[in-house]
Amino acid sequence: MTVLVESLLFSRDTLVSVFKVMSFTYAVCAVVLGFRTSARQGVNWTVWFVGLWFSVLLASFPTWFYSQVGFGVNGHGFQGILNHPQAFGVFFAPAVAFLAGKLLFAPDWRKSYWIYPLWLGALACMLLSEARTAAIAVASALALVIAAAFLGRPDWRSFLRRAVKPPVVLLGMFVLIPVAILEREALYLRAVDFIHKGQSTHAVESSFMESRASRIDEEWKDFEQFPAFGIGFGVSLDPAFRPVIDPTIGLPISAPVEKGFLPTAVLEETGLVGATAFTLLLLALFRRAFSNNELSYAWMFGTCVLTNLGEMMFFSAGGLGLYIWLLMGWATYSRTGRISAT
């Protein structure tokens, strides 16, 4: 409602902003209320999402042998059956977090041997896509879960303590730590190659500038020019931004805009007023997702949100953005969560 009022009064393209607010609200309400209703009815969505991950993984495997398909965009980032390596990596990032959480914190899941190849396949696909955003999101979300456990969830702390006790985990740590020490140079070179996406001539600074920094700088300049209410939800001051208007009804039917970094994009589009409302929404979602009894859902939810730091999909009502919202809705109202009577 806050952003809708802003769109009506201050947007540089009122029709585009209003239509985008409406489509986003409609889709997100359908997702959140749908999962809330299904949670009360005891529906377990795990099989559906795991089946989706399995399907994409198995269908993508043959494309590895056909570079014009599996590596069609840039020749070095694996994209499987999706249309871009970045999308492929982001697609599997929540799967990596969720399955790792189940393996570490849910002993019953360790008896299901199919989960091991699925998790390894999802992890391999995420890394082979060279999507740095996906890898950073998984690691950062785990850090959030650990921080939440030590700050206010003693039950989660017990899960964390038990996670490192199984013999397989201890044996893995015992084996991997010496290997990491002995092969530290090779691992360092591989990490640098992953950060640079195979372009070894680029420094970290130049790689960051090419991928995100220039766009962030433009968004910040727009925010400084319109700090209170922003330029309008879902619009851009870039000359290349040209909404498609239907000649018959005179309404916008398409207005694509690419924003790579969620915090500056929110400030640019909605200003301090909209950013405040967005922060309250995000805190409410995090509070419910992190009230879950299982760490795997919180880890997955955090991963979904943090992927928006590099691939902003939070306000996308379709495509990969809708997939991310389905996962966040599932994590927010999963069957193992603390669902209140109201």
pLDDT in tens, 24-64: 999 999 999 999 999 888 888 999 999 999 999 999 999 99
Total domains in the fold of the chain: 1
Question: Is 281 inside a domain boundary?
Answer: yes
- The position carrying tokens 């290349």 is 240
Question: Does any domain span residue 264?
Answer: yes
What residues form DSSP beta bridges with 254?
244
- Residue 246: inside a domain: yes
CA-nearest of 221, 313, 303 to 258 is: 313
d(CA 173, CA 68): 39
Does 294 or 298 have the greater pLDDT score? 298
Higher pLDDT, 99 or 319: 99
Q: Does residue 111 form part of some domain?
A: yes
Confidence (pLDDT) at 191:
53
Residue 183 has pLDDT above 60, yes or no: no
- Among 87-91, 181-185, 215-219, 325-329, which is the least confidently predicted range? 181-185
Structural domain of residue 26, as residue ranges?
2-162+212-332
Average the pLDDT over each of 27-31, 212-216, 263-267, 307-311 and give the range with the smallest value: 212-216
Q: Which two tokens stand for residue 17?
A: 């902003």
- The pLDDT assigned to 165 comes to 60
Q: Taking Cα atoms as reference points, which of 21, 106, 34 lies closest to residue 292?
A: 106
Other Cβ atoms within 10 Å of 36 Cβ, number: 15
Q: What is the pLDDT of residues 132-171, one digit of tens each?
A: 888 899 999 999 988 888 887 777 777 777 665 655 455 4
Query: Within 13 Å and on the Cβ side, how many CA atoms surround 69?
Result: 10
In this structure, is residue 203 part of a structural domain? no
Query: How far is residue 19's CA from residue 127's CA, in Å, rounded to a whole number?
Result: 37
**Residue 202 belongs to a domain:** no
Residue 270 lies in a domain: yes
Report pLDDT for 325: 94
| 187 found inside a domain | no
Q: 217 or 174, which is more confident?
A: 217
Q: How far is CA 176 from CA 84, 120, 158, 287, in A?
A: 32, 16, 24, 35
